[in-house]
Chains A and B, each alone.
Chain A
């Protein structure tokens, strides 16, 4: 009887421990379910597209300079 009550007591003691260990890893589900994640993704995508356009413009400027330097020579 003493043993059983001690066992139950320790079971109770370990209850908070059980509650603290999640059954599975925590993921950002709330961010996803609220749909706000799309706002973040859209911002990232816009920034990147902007950088891409900038790179193409830079490329075109260099091409123009190359053409000018070619025509200078001939």
Chain B
């Protein structure tokens, strides 16, 4: 049924998109039905690992790709890189927002509050604010090259802070975190996280990264269409572009 939809641009070119959808579909189905370790407090909510944590892995992947394109923009100066960096950051922010809301919901029923004073939560909130600032900064500059350069430099700075706030700071020894693998809590590997859970979690992460890439590239293509159209109408005599 879905294969019929994949008839533009060749099957090979689109097969990774279908793969992303199928991986996530598999994680949705088997994540609900598959065996999970029986743990107190978590109970069935341990299944949220497949859905909540994969949002964050996806977000970090999107931000890494965004960083790559920002660096490419700074070295080559092509507008495509700037647009790609922007679109991947947007998709990353979307995944991050989904991660923080699902995490808050999960925390309400396992840790007892919508927001607990956990370094990973606060770090995630700060990182999201940093990326909001990226969007605002980029949107506030009109001139194309200046906007691209300032946004790219800021994006590098934002990614470093993201790594610090999500990966380094919660893992420091003198910091207490409820998240597994942080502040002396048992890590991912000792969730009893047997191969059964890994078998769902890793495909889910890969699937969401593929879908995120797809969505970001869709946004990028629309952006390029808009840009080219604006450029053409600007070059045409008698018409003035407002969207450039």
Q: Which residues of A contact B (CB under 8 A)?
A: 24-28, 37-38, 40-41, 44-45, 48-49, 52-53, 55-60, 62-66, 69, 72-73
Q: How far is the CA of A65 from the CA of B229 in the complex (A)?
A: 11
Q: Are B225 and A62 within 8 A (Cβ)?
A: yes
Q: Are B221 and A37 within 8 A (Cβ)?
A: no
Q: Are A27 and B44 within 8 A (Cβ)?
A: yes
Q: How far is the CA of A59 from the CA of B232 in the complex (A)?
A: 23
Q: Which of A27, A40, A45, A66 contacts B25 (CB 8 A)?
A: A45
Q: Determine whether B38 belongs to the interface, using a CB cutoff of 8 Å to chain A.
A: yes
Contact residues in A for B12 (Cβ distance below 8 Å): none
Q: Determine whether B198 belongs to the interface, using a CB cutoff of 8 Å to chain A.
A: no
Q: How far is the CA of A24 from the CA of B214 in the complex (A)?
A: 43
* Least Cβ–Cβ distance between B11 and chain A, in angstroms: 12
Contact residues in B for A69 (Cβ distance below 8 Å): 225, 228-229
Contact residues in A for B9 (Cβ distance below 8 Å): 63
Contact residues in B for A45 (Cβ distance below 8 Å): 25, 28-29
Q: When A and B form their complex, what is the total count of cross-chain residue pairs whose Cβ atoms lie within 8 Å? A: 76
Q: Which of A40, A52, A65, A73 contacts B2 (CB 8 A)?
A: A52
Looking at chain A's contact residues, is the secondary structure mostly helix, strand, loop, or mixed?
helix
Query: For window 130-179 of chain B, which residues contact chain A by CB distance below 8 Å?
Result: none
Q: Are B28 and A56 within 8 A (Cβ)?
A: no
Q: Are A40 and B43 within 8 A (Cβ)?
A: no
Q: Mark B1-41, 1 if CB is under 8 A from A, else 0.
A: 11001101100001001000100110011001100001111
Q: How far is the CA of A62 from the CA of B8 in the complex (A)?
A: 10
Q: Determine whether B218 belongs to the interface, using a CB cutoff of 8 Å to chain A.
A: yes
Contact residues in A for B28 (Cβ distance below 8 Å): 41, 44-45, 48
Known contacts A37-B33, A41-B33, A45-B25: does B43 contact A27 (CB below 8 Å)? yes
Q: How far is the CA of A69 from the CA of B43 in the complex (A)?
A: 54
Q: Are A53 and B44 within 8 A (Cβ)?
A: no
Q: Which residue of B lies closest to A28 (CB)?
A: B44
Q: A25, A27, A37, A63 — which one has the most chain B CB atoms within 10 A of its CB?
A: A25
Q: How far is the CA of A32 from the CA of B229 in the complex (A)?
A: 55
Known contacts A53-B2, A58-B218: does B24 contact A24 (CB below 8 Å)? no
